[in-house]
Amino acid sequence: MTTPPQPDVCPILHLELGPLDLNLLGLRVQLNQVVLDVDAIPGPGNLLGNLLCAIAGLLDGVDLGGVLGNLLQTLIDALIRLLEGLGGGGTAAPTVRPT
């Protein structure tokens, strides 16, 4: 049974575990489906709720794929420049003509 999130609640974690059946050296452990919802409730005196809601909202609206892609491209470009400075990678070797 799930309840709809309240407007002043920040969802932190939603975890659904399917059925689990373990046999550990003769000890049988059976677990039916488990649903775990963790919500932070902000408000006066709710220090942890306020902190977790602030942290959960930090990346709202941020295109993480674009940010990470740009960071990766910048690192690749820096590595190429470093290798070119060391005489390897990317640049053609000067041609030597016999005299």
Identify whether the C-beta of residue 47 lies closer than 8 Å to the C-beta of residue 94: no
- Confidence band for 92, pLDDT divided at 50, 70 and 90: low
69-90 average pLDDT score: 85
- More reliable by pLDDT, 62 or 99: 62
Q: What is the pLDDT of residues 13-69, one digit of tens each?
A: 999 989 989 998 999 999 899 999 999 999 999 999 999 998 887 877 778 788 889
For the chain, what are the domain ranges?
1-58, 62-90
Q: Tokens 């990470």 correspond to what residue?
A: 68
pLDDT score at 59: 72
CA 49, CA 55: separation in Å to the nearest integer?
10
56-85 average pLDDT score: 86
DSSP 67-87: HHHHHHHHHHHHHHHHHHHTT
Identify whether the C-beta of residue 38 lies closer than 8 Å to the C-beta of residue 5: no
